[in-house]
Amino acid sequence: MVHVARSGYAQSLTMNTFEFWAFLGVWLSYSLYLWIVLRNDTAAIRMLVIGLCAIPLYFSIRENTQLMTIDEWGFINEPLYMTNGNRLVLWWHAAFRTSNAILGTVAAAHHKFVPWFTEHQSYALLKATHWITAAFTVLAAHFALVRYVIPNKQKAGFSLVFFYGIFLLPAVNIAFKTATYDKLYVAFSILGIALILAGLWQKNIWLLYASVIAGYLATQDKVLASPVLMIAIFTCGLHPFLTDYGRSTLKNIRQSLVHISGASILSVFVGLIGALMTARVQHFNEWPLAMFAKPIEPHLVWAFLLGLLRGADSVSPWADPAGFVSFVYVEFNPLQLIGLFTITLLGIWILASTTGWIGQQAWFDAIKKTVLGQRGITVTSLIFAAAMLFGVVGVFTATAYFDFAGTIAEGGYYVPIVTMDPGAGEDKLLHFFSTSYFGHLWAQFQFYLTFFVLDIPIVVWALLIATIVFYPRWQSHVNDISKSAFLIGLLLAVALMFVFAVANFRVEKRYVNLQVILVVLPVLVFGMVMLAQITSRQTGLLLSIAFALLMAAETVPFEPLGTAYRPIWTNLNLTHLRNTDPAYMVPAWPSWGENMMIVGKRLQAKCDAGTADFDCTDVNLFSAITGLWVTDESDITRRFAYQTNPDEYRYTANDFYIIPYGRISEFEGLPAGIEPYDTVTYRGLTAAWVYRGDDLASIGFLFEE
């Protein structure tokens, strides 16, 4: 229900005005689009698909603008106050650039035409705009797939499978509900992968060019999208060898270089337009000559070997990833960046040309038949299944530990180089009581796999298994390069997690979203190709509806953010995941600040219903992790525990303290001897505990200590 409250800022317990109009505008646009795209289906089927597609859109935008997580302030404030001439910290570190160009432009218009907006309304406006951008990017991915890949008789079913499989996928839902670089990095990665699949399916160079641009837009928001950009450039270079109509190998190699250079330069040009948009909003306050070379940077994010070759630990990606990024993006001058850009493209061109030449050799046909035949799918499935089983075991056994580097060394254990823990504080390290680097690597690899398997709904696993089982039935209807994309997607996801473990990268749920997408998106596509071969149009549509409803049933209970999602099979044994020992980190979500909104709404609901057992005119809500309930409609004072002066803490019946799972280590355990006033629990697993101030005072448990 939406209502206009006394301040003119609509707010309810479900959807506010910004969310309502964003949802309505996007859904009506989707409806018109689907009505046209599904013109070969009956009016009844089109209406059914349009109606059902409202559900994932609703849950994707609902409460989206009413919460802000711990990371969002730094991101959203950069474009919001860009017109003030503030330094663009994120932009200069090659991050959030696509978002800055879009949100900065909207923020400038908002300051000019609706200057009376409160800060909370401004946040909501930009978050809604960010979500709308992501929603239309996903729509573009859908169009590429239904136009060039999906068989006509399964387009209606695919639309349901795609929109439910994307918007309700926890890895995507987390990104789409937070105004950080995760949102457009994920959205444009989806578009880039869809365009790569469509381009390979049709052997269409223009679709592959478009995939490079999408990969570029994703990478300039977050560097983790660089594999999508690299693959897109590589497939552009491979294209001449896929469409060889009697040309010589030399001509193919020459054409490969033209495509790689053309697509890359075109994407840089798009980046330059974005940089100009950003600079224009900022009144060109930060527009030195060096900024003309900055759009090259997304093509250099994998040039980390340069840091190793220089032999300087301070810029080594293994020892100091953040310092290395700063070194590459700040210390290099434009000419050096252009030189690296050229070297990077030449390297990809050599790889693509070599791969293309090998693929043209007669002796390679025998290998290709083996790799893409039943033996290939069997080997790929076994490798992927072994990795997934390793992750499943980790769900019930994997445990990491927090400790200081000196303490770890004194125990004779391997000391990690990089702080990977998102919640225990920068002075503590995440480790596994390993006595060697290789033991640590193996344990960390399992931790990544554990987060991965916890992010995949059961219905997606079912579709993946069916796609593999019926591979012989559909593989003959797909060209060789497209079949290889399906197999490579499974292996690449596992390989990327292993690379992250080798690099000692942070272990956290939102750092496996690209790997999840690399598996899930091809499964959605090839799963529908499979259904087209083994079922009728009507049966395929019924199975698609079942997929959609099961996807919603499994993921919606973990709203609003979906961060705590885990598959239903984990409830077989929750003992391990319920471990609240402050020294441990089990593979469960540690909270991202969303509990401030959840608990705030619960307290406000009691006040509105007249059932509160506290004074509603003088309520303080403290959280041990930074987060914001974005509303002007509540008198509850929201405070962040570590940004509060000691004399502002209170311990009365009107004061409430939130301790999320990820902050237990900072308190050396949960308060003993008292029961929590409330908990935030998802299907048997508690994500946060709420304590009343007077209860904490009774046992001498004080936040300021």
Mean pLDDT for the chain overall: 83
b/e per residue 465-481 (b: at least 16 CB within 10 A): ebbbebbeebbeebebb
Q: What is the pLDDT of residue 212?
A: 96
Best mean pLDDT range from 36-45, 248-257, 271-280, 314-323? 36-45
Alpha-carbon gap, residue 527 to 200, rounded angstroms: 17
Give the tokens for residue 675.
Answer: 């029961």
Q: Is the pLDDT at 422 greater than 60, yes or no?
A: no
Alpha-carbon gap, residue 429 to 420, rounded angstroms: 7
- 420-424, 553-557, 648-652, 685-689: least confidently modelled range: 420-424
Give the dihedral of Cα atoms 530, 531, 536, 538; nearest 10 deg: -160
Report residue 95's pLDDT band, with 50, 70 and 90 as the boundaries: confident
Alpha-carbon gap, residue 93 to 75, rounded angstroms: 12
SS3 helix, strand, coil % of the chain, rounded to 5?
65, 5, 30
User: Shortest CA distance to 129 belongs to which of 185, 34, 65?
Assistant: 65
Give the dihedral of Cα atoms 641, 644, 650, 655; nearest 10 deg: -50
Q: What is the pLDDT of residue 643?
A: 60
Q: What is the pLDDT of residue 331?
A: 53
Report residue 543's pLDDT band, with 50, 70 and 90 as the boundaries: very high
pTM given for the model? 0.91
Could you tell me which residue, 148 or 89, shows the higher pLDDT? 148
Q: How many CB atoms lie within 10 A of CB 163?
A: 27
Report residue 705's pLDDT band, with 50, 70 and 90 as the boundaries: low
What strands lie across the sheet with 620-623, from one edge to the other?
637-640, 620-623, 655-660, 685-692, 678-682
Q: Tell me: cis bond preceding 227? Omega within 30 of 0 counts.
A: no
Give the tokens for residue 87.
Answer: 């330094």
Q: Is the pLDDT at 484 greater than 80, yes or no?
A: yes
Residue 631 is classified by DSSP as -
- 203-217, 239-253, 531-545, 613-627: least confidently modelled range: 239-253
Alpha-carbon gap, residue 622 to 619, rounded angstroms: 10
656: β partners: 621, 692
- 355-369, 434-448, 661-675: least confidently modelled range: 355-369
- 54-68, 246-260, 469-483, 533-547: least confidently modelled range: 469-483
Element (H, E) at 704: none
Percent of the chain with pLDDT over 70: 87
- 365-369, 505-509, 604-608, 679-683: least confidently modelled range: 365-369
**Structural contact between residues 148 and 204, judged by C-beta atoms closer than 8 angstroms:** yes
> In 577-674, at which residue ranges do the beta strands (DSSP E only) sit?
584-585, 620-623, 628-629, 637-640, 655-660
Q: What is the pLDDT of residue 678?
A: 93
Best mean pLDDT range from 67-76, 209-218, 372-381, 596-605? 209-218
Question: Please, what sign has the CA dihedral across residues 690, 694, 699, 700?
Answer: positive
H-assigned helices in 556-692: 595-609
Alpha-carbon gap, residue 580 to 578, rounded angstroms: 6
**Structural contact between residues 26 and 13, judged by C-beta atoms closer than 8 angstroms:** no
Q: Is the pLDDT at 214 greater than 80, yes or no?
A: yes
Element (H, E) at 402: strand 400-403
Give the tokens for residue 24.
Answer: 């309505």
Report residue 641's pLDDT band, with 50, 70 and 90 as the boundaries: low
Average pLDDT rounded to a whole number, residues 167-193: 94
Q: What is the pLDDT of residue 425?
A: 44
Q: What is the pLDDT of residue 246?
A: 59
Average pLDDT rounded to a whole number, residues 23-27: 96
Q: Is the pLDDT at 423 greater than 60, yes or no?
A: no
Q: Is the pLDDT at 435 greater than 60, yes or no?
A: yes
Q: What is the pLDDT of residue 289?
A: 60
Q: What is the pLDDT of residue 244?
A: 67
**Structural contact between residues 691 and 685, judged by C-beta atoms closer than 8 angstroms:** no
Average pLDDT rounded to a whole number, residues 322-346: 65
Residue 228 is classified by DSSP as H
Report residue 570's pLDDT band, with 50, 70 and 90 as the boundaries: confident
Residue 297 is classified by DSSP as G
Q: What is the pLDDT of residue 216?
A: 95
